[in-house]
Amino acid sequence: MKAIISGGGIGGLATAAALGQRGWEVTVFESQPSLRVSGSGIYVHSNGLAVLAGIGALDRATAGAFMGDGVEQRDHLNKVILPPMMPPGVKMVSIPRRELLEGLHEAARNVGVEIVTNCMVVDARADGTFIFANGERAQADLAIGCDGVGSPVRRALNLEEFHQRTAEGALRTIVSATQDEMPEDARGRCIENWSGTRRLLITPINDTEVYLAMTCLSDDVEARDTRIQPCWRETFPAWAWLIDRIGDEVTWNVYSFIRCKQWSAGRTCILGDAAHAQPPNLGQGGGMALQNGMALAAFMADIADRRDVSTALEEWERCVRPLTERCQYWSCLFGEITRIPDDVRPDFIRAAFSNSWVQQSLGEAAQSKPVFRKPLPA
């Protein structure tokens, strides 16, 4: 059985590796000249780590990773609201995206996945066909669009129900810093610092680098400038020394929330941001792409006739979509903390995060077990 995948990012490579493990012949088409990501970090929780282990990418992807125990919440005065917390048994690492991508690339190559760069998919058909920018076509038993928020595959198959751009966005960059340089009360942890409608996420990703995510409303013109304006030093004076280390490689993106009518049509489907983009507030955008890619491979493992692919895709979606959408919901809801006044926010966070139902809801995806085998009928 043959599969073609549009997009050589996290979801595309993980799905390719998982399918390759199960005997599928897989080709990944990437629009860029090489497999690369912008300079930023990423959180991977237990659910994503299990997938990386399952496809043989864990050691390479997490070599030198920062092992965290959650994210400490701080207020506008840099005072601790809540210490780091993780659900029982859940692990969290933070790593450069480049390392994760390299690990996935290596795992895909190891099972014979072919990766074709400089090849842009601009259209798709329900019969497993991709159409490229140069007019050429490719067809397979299964076609998968892992082609991001602006997914041409999703658009071509008319799968989208709505696409909402959130009021928030983030500047992302990586700076050089060691734990010894950190204030003593900030060592060995990730920190989320709230101030007005801005927040600063400080995430070590190895021994010498720290990932910074600087979040603000999209209409905050000064704060969203990739040239990093003085307002950030003024808003977070305790971290001015770290902000001063930011170089030229800074990206700005507004978050997206995507809901689809369905995730497949015929023998063509979508996953990752193409199907279920969400704000990064729970650190599960990559996790859900990894987890759903593994589940897709599990549902395809025993398929020997292309006529059975469409039914398997429907079963896969019924299995994984409910958790994915709950994760989307809570990720969006978490972002609303931005709108709470500074003098109210600490009490709100303490009250909300101490509620067992809220804790369970926020940590459900991280605690979930990926699907490695298609569940047996009830």
Q: How far is CA 222 from CA 225, 245, 251, in A?
A: 6, 19, 15
On the question of pLDDT at 111 being above 70, the answer is yes
Check if the beta carbon of residue 37 is closer than 8 Å to that of residue 97: yes
Which two structure tokens, joined as six digits, stand for 222?
Answer: 């000064």
Q: How far apart are CA 143 and CA 266, in angstroms?
A: 10
Query: pLDDT tens digit string along 179-229?
Result: 999 999 999 999 999 999 999 999 999 999 999 999 999 999 999 999 999
For domain 2-37+57-65+97-165+256-338, give the CATH superfamily: FAD/NAD(P)-binding domain (3.50.50.60)
Please give the pLDDT value at position 35.
82
Please give the pLDDT value at position 88.
84
Please give the pLDDT value at position 291.
97
Please give the pLDDT value at position 375.
82
**Of 366, 331, 152, which is closest to residue 257 (Cα–Cα)?**
331
Order across the sheet with 129-132: list the strands. Answer: 121-125, 129-132, 137-139
On the question of pLDDT at 235 being above 80, the answer is yes
Mean predicted lDDT score pLDDT of the chain: 95
| CA atoms within 13 A of residue 79's CA, in its CB half-sphere | 7
Query: pLDDT tens digit string along 78-91?
Result: 999 999 988 888 99
On the question of pLDDT at 129 being above 90, the answer is yes
On the question of pLDDT at 124 being above 90, the answer is yes
On the question of pLDDT at 39 being above 70, the answer is no
On the question of pLDDT at 105 being above 90, the answer is yes
On the question of pLDDT at 378 being above 70, the answer is no
- Residues forming beta bridges with residue 181, ordered by sequence position: none
Please give the pLDDT value at position 34.
86
Please give the pLDDT value at position 38.
62
pTM of the model: 0.95
Which two structure tokens, joined as six digits, stand for 355?
Answer: 């509620």
